């Protein structure tokens, strides 16, 4: 066969041109991305430090203004501390801004700030020595504060305008990159279509005969063969097809055709899956590792086959899940599967989501287990970054919220002078919003501590009936005002549970608060506790709007809120149930909901019986 006339040569020539065009497209795209990346880097680095410094200086001088007001209200020591601490922060950030002058007119603004700020500091000292501090504040200190604040805002605006201009340039470059890449891509696609049409004319005709013969063989005519009309690859294909037909006849005679096809398909699937697959027998010995598992555990399928699981993979927790599944024929509990499999340490540490499934023969007999480890390291890292960010932002919110709440309280107490009814209404609304935001910040911080593993439990024997009764006390007045009936039904005398009373009280209070929020007047809320084996089941049931089935698992995820058919129209941050689940799981318990839209909801969680009480009963 002449190599120049072979299908391979023709196809390779066409692919060579196609690859060349694709490479040109790739180089063009990379060049545009490099330029675009430089523009984005300019946006992020050139002006970001000045913007950040201006924002911090603005916050610092605002806190100093608050400190002056505190001083006027007689809180001298606290005001002095806040004023000097903010002065230190202001001067540090002023130095950073002064060292990062990048825009026209920025140096003059920084010089103006440098002149105005010392005057402002001197006015504070004069304020402390002035008998009529209120008038001096309004006539001298406040105007000086406004001038300095305006200069800081000018600095912020100059840098933000520069960032906007750089962003617009980056957008123009991005549009050019997109349209030019689309044009080159269209040319490559057009060439590919022409090439495919030409190639199909050479290949399809002889292949149609092979396809027709394959269909007949598929229908059972295993004695069929195809005549080879050429000496190129299509002729070789016809020859190989005839060889295949011969082998099929032999396999069919031995009744092995189906078995081999299934085996081959299974091998291809297992070997191409990126997740790690481990197969063990009834004796917990390894029978199969796919390539991904071989790479993770630094072994080969041949070396590991037949060895006990712990000889190859020294992880007791993972082995315990496999052992239980192999003995019971059931997959591990959702709580057990929620605990990730962590392999390695330091920068090479990987996090995997595990899945353990028992294998059964057609007779129902257990023959082993299949364990799949899915790499979720990237998702785990992203989740931790998000949690760290939320925690940092929440910490930053606490100080201004405290200041606002304090100022609103002082104004409502008329410490700064009398207020009219309209002003009181506005201040009450502001204080309620601050309290709501404070609760949100506290929830965010609690959830951050839980996720980072810093949840501390003070476990002790707790009486189920007692903790239910204590948890209802703060809500009795609200229930009476709303006309909702409350009932506590404890079946029998359940044993004491091993729990942190404060944390479990918080969970019950959260569930009661939710029930109260979504139950209309005339409804009913029922709390219950019943012992089932070594666990006590707590429940909070209401006659409210209910939760659709598709959301009953998702409502325990952080920040998730049901917004379907008006079910969740009362606001909230979507953290209460997520925190409750983490607290219950930390107690080695479970929490779930049973609900039907229009018929109310029943939240149930379990806690283990106190070991101390269980031991005492066993001794008696």
Q: What is the pLDDT of residue 531?
A: 94
The more confident residue out of 265 and 501 is 501
Bridge-based pairing state of the strands 350-360 and 286-289: unpaired
**Do 366 and 358 contact (CB within 8 A), yes or no?**
yes
- Burial state string for 309-347 with b = 16 or more CB within 10 A and e = fewer than 16: beebbeeeebbebbbbbbeeeebbeeeeeeebbebeeee
Q: What is the CATH number of domain 460-619?
A: 3.30.565.10
The more confident residue out of 583 and 618 is 583
- Take residue 598 and report the two structure tokens written for it: 């229009």
Q: What is the pLDDT of residue 454?
A: 59
- When pLDDT is cut at 50, 70 and 90, the band that residue 444 belongs to is low
pLDDT in tens, 114-171: 898 898 888 888 888 888 888 888 888 899 889 889 988 988 888 888 888 877 877 8
Q: Give the closest residue to 482 by CA, choosing from 527, 441, 518, 437.
A: 518
Is 80 exceeded by the pLDDT of residue 366?
yes
Indicate the range of 6-15, 207-216, 376-385, 543-552 predicted with least confidence: 6-15
Q: What is the pLDDT of residue 613?
A: 56
Cα–Cα distance measured from residue 602 to residue 280, given in angstroms and rounded to the nearest whole number: 40
Which class would CATH give 8-202? mainly alpha
- Take residue 391 and report the two structure tokens written for it: 């925690």
What is the DSSP-derived secondary structure letter of residue 550?
G
Helix 48-72 and helix 142-218, axial crossing angle in degrees, nearest 10: 130
Indicate the range of 90-104, 363-377, 440-454 predicted with least confidence: 440-454
E strands of 361-434, at which residues?
366-375
Is 50 exceeded by the pLDDT of residue 333?
yes
For the chain, which residues make up each domain, given as ranges?
A: 8-202, 206-263, 272-375, 384-451, 460-619
The more confident residue out of 438 and 469 is 469
pLDDT in tens, 92-105: 988 888 888 888 88
- When pLDDT is cut at 50, 70 and 90, the band that residue 535 belongs to is very high
Among the CATH numbers 3.40.50.720, 3.40.50.20, 3.30.450.20, 3.30.310.50, which is that of 272-375? 3.30.450.20
Is 80 exceeded by the pLDDT of residue 578?
yes
Share of the chain above pLDDT 70, in %: 74
Cα–Cα distance measured from residue 404 to residue 438, given in angstroms and rounded to the nearest whole number: 11
Cα–Cα distance measured from residue 132 to residue 128, given in angstroms and rounded to the nearest whole number: 10
pLDDT mean over 441-464 = 73
- When pLDDT is cut at 50, 70 and 90, the band that residue 13 belongs to is low
Among the CATH numbers 1.10.10, 1.10.287, 1.10.357, 1.10.3470, which is that of 384-451? 1.10.287
pLDDT in tens, 380-407: 777 666 666 666 665 666 667 777 777 7
Q: What is the pLDDT of residue 230?
A: 63
- Take residue 461 and report the two structure tokens written for it: 């024997």
pLDDT mean over 521-529 = 93
Q: Give the closest residue to 273 by CA, choosing from 254, 290, 252.
A: 290
The more confident residue out of 213 and 452 is 213
Cα–Cα distance measured from residue 402 to residue 308, given in angstroms and rounded to the nearest whole number: 60
- Phi, then psi, of 21 in degrees rounded to 5: -65, -40
Cα–Cα distance measured from residue 141 to residue 407, given in angstroms and rounded to the nearest whole number: 19
pLDDT mean over 442-450 = 65
CB contact set of 28 (below 8 Å; sequence gap of 6+): 180, 181, 184
The more confident residue out of 255 and 143 is 143
On average, the pLDDT of the chain sits at: 79
Q: Tell me the torsion sign for CA atoms 196, 202, 203, 208.
A: positive
pLDDT mean over 541-563 = 83
- When pLDDT is cut at 50, 70 and 90, the band that residue 267 belongs to is low
Q: What is the pLDDT of residue 350?
A: 83
Distances (CA, A) of 294 to 267, 275, 278, 324: 15, 11, 10, 24
């Amino acid at each position: 066969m002449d190599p120049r006339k072979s299908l391979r040569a023709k196809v390779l020539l066409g692919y060579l041109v196609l690859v060349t065009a694709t490479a040109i497209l790739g180089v063009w795209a990379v060049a545009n991305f490099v330029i675009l990346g430089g523009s984005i880097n300019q946006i992020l680095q050139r002006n970001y430090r000045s913007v950040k410094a201006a924002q911090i200086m603005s916050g610092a001088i605002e806190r100093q203004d608050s400190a002056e007001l505190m001083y006027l209200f007689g809180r001298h020591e606290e005001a002095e501390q806040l004023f000097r601490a903010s002065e230190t922060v202001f001067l540090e950030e002023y130095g950073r801004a002064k060292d990062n002058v990048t825009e026209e007119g920025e140096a003059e603004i920084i010089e103006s700030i440098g002149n105005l700020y010392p005057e402002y500091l001197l006015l504070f000292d004069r304020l402390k020595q002035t008998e009529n501090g209120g008038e001096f504040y309004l006539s001298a200190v406040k105007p000086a504060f406004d001038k300095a604040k305006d200069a800081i805002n000018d600095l912020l605006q100059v840098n933000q305008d520069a960032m906007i201009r750089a962003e617009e340039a980056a957008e123009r470059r991005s549009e050019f990159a997109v349209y030019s890449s689309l044009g080159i891509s269209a040319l490559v696609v057009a060439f590919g279509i022409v090439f495919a049409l030409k190639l199909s004319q050479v290949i399809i005709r002889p292949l149609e005969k092979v396809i027709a013969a394959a269909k007949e063989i598929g229908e059972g005519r295993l004695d069929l063969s195809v005549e080879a009309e050429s000496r190129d690859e299509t002729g070789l294909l016809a020859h190989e097809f005839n060889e295949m037909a011969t082998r099929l006849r032999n396999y069919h005679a031995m009744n092995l055709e189906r078995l081999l096809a299934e085996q081959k398909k299974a091998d291809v699937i297992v070997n191409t899956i990126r997740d790690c697959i481990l197969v063990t027998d009834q004796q917990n010995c390894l029978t199969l590792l796919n390539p991904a598992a071989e790479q993770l555990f630094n072994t080969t399928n041949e070396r590991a086959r037949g060895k006990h699981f712990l000889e190859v993979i020294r992880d007791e927790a993972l082995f315990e899940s496999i052992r239980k599944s192999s003995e019971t024929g059931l997959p591990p509990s959702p709580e057990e599967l929620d605990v990730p499999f962590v392999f390695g340490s330091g920068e090479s540490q990987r996090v995997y989501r595990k899945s353990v499934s028992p294998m059964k023969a057609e007779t129902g007999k257990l023959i082993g287990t299949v364990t799949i480890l899915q790499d979720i390291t990237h998702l785990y890292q992203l989740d931790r970054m998000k949690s760290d960010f939320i925690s940092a932002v929440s910490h930053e919110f606490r100080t201004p919220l405290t200041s606002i709440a304090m100022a609103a309280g002082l104004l409502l107490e008329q410490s700064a002078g009398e207020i009219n009814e309209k002003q009181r209404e506005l201040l009450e609304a502001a204080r309620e919003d601050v309290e709501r935001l404070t609760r949100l910040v506290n929830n965010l911080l609690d959830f951050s501590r839980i996720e980072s593993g810093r949840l501390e439990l003070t476990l002790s024997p707790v009486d189920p009936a007692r903790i239910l009764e204590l948890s209802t006390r703060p809500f009795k007045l609200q229930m009476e005002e709303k006309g909702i009936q409350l009932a506590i039904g404890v079946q029998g005398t359940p044993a004491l549970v091993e729990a942190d009373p404060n944390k479990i009280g918080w969970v019950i209070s959260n569930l009661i608060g939710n029930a109260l929020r979504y139950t209309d007047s005339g409804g009913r809320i029922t709390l219950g506790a019943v012992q089932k084996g070594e666990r006590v089941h707590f429940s909070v049931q209401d006659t409210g709007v209910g939760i659709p089935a598709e959301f009953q698992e998702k409502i325990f995820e952080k920040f998730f809120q049901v917004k379907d058919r008006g079910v969740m129209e009362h606001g909230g941050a979507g953290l209460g149930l997520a925190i409750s689940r983490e607290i219950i799981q930390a107690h080695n318990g479970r929490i779930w909901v049973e609900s039907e839209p229009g018929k109310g909801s029943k939240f149930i969680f379990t806690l283990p019986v106190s070991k101390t009480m269980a031991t005492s009963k066993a001794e008696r």
